[in-house]
Each structure stands twice: as C-alpha cells, then as structure tokens.
Copies of this chain bind each other. A is one copy, B any other.
Amino acid sequence: MEPNKIIRGSLSTVILQLLQQNGRMYGYEMTKAVKDGSKGKMQITEAALYPALHKLEEAGLLDTDSELVDGRMRKYYKLNRRGKKESALQLSALQESIASLQKIMKYKLKHG
C-alpha cells in the first residue's frame, strides 16, 4: 500500500494548510515538514510538490519571493488574501469529506 494515498487529490489542501500554519515556507521545507509531521509515514515528492505550488501561484492564491541562503536560492511562498480564504474553504471541505468517508464505511443497508 502506498504510504500517502490519502493525500492524493488533497495535495493542494495540504500545501495551503501548511502555509496557513507557518506563514511562509519554501518547497523543500514543505517536503520535510510532511515527513517530520507524519513521522515518516507520508511524504510529498518534489515532483508532485513543485507543479502543485506553481499551479496555486498561477491561480493567484500565493505570493512568492526568492532569497539567497547559504549560497542556494530559496523560493518562499505565502498565502495572500485569496489564498487564506481558499485555505479555509478547502480545509472545511476536506474535514467534511473525511467525516462522510467515515460514515460511508460504517454504512449498513436497511432491511439488510
């Protein structure tokens, strides 16, 4: 079983939420945050992350700025006003989805 099946389709929600929690992050940092925050049970590959970040940026939800640190460039992302709204929306939608999923999996037919 793949480690992070549940993230499938929720990657952008996770990204937005990480930024909501931390204010300003760069890509590599996010991959570490997910690995650490899940105690190694999940990971976001960079090949999945960067396109997702670019998509959110293009969608006008994120502001960016780049910085040279220790001789390497970092591209920082943070939520703008629209991003904050969208973040909240996606979070509650996800929580409702999880609740629905739990219900479904306990569902028993009437008159079975």
Q: How far is the CA of A100 from the CA of B37 in the complex (A)?
A: 8
Q: How far is the CA of A97 from the CA of B88 in the complex (A)?
A: 21
Instruction: Report yes or no: B107 in contact with A18, Cβ–Cβ below 8 A.
Output: yes
Instruction: Report yes or no: A104 in contact with B33, Cβ–Cβ below 8 A.
Output: yes
Instruction: Report yes or no: A103 in contact with B5, Cβ–Cβ below 8 A.
Output: no
- CB nearest neighbor in B for A13: B105
In terms of DSSP, what is the predominant structure of the interface of chain A? helix
B residues within 8 A CB of A7?
Answer: 97, 101
Total identical chains: 2
Is A66 located at the chain interface by the 8 A CB criterion?
A: no
Q: Can you sample 21 A-B contacts with CB below 8 Å?
A: A4-B100, A5-B10, A5-B93, A6-B10, A6-B97, A6-B100, A7-B97, A8-B8, A14-B105, A17-B104, A18-B105, A21-B105, A22-B108, A22-B109, A33-B107, A36-B107, A37-B100, A38-B100, A42-B97, A91-B105, A98-B98
Chain A residues in contact with chain B, CB under 8 A?
Answer: 1-10, 13-14, 17-18, 21-23, 25, 29, 33-34, 36-39, 41-42, 89-91, 93-94, 96-98, 100-101, 103-109, 112
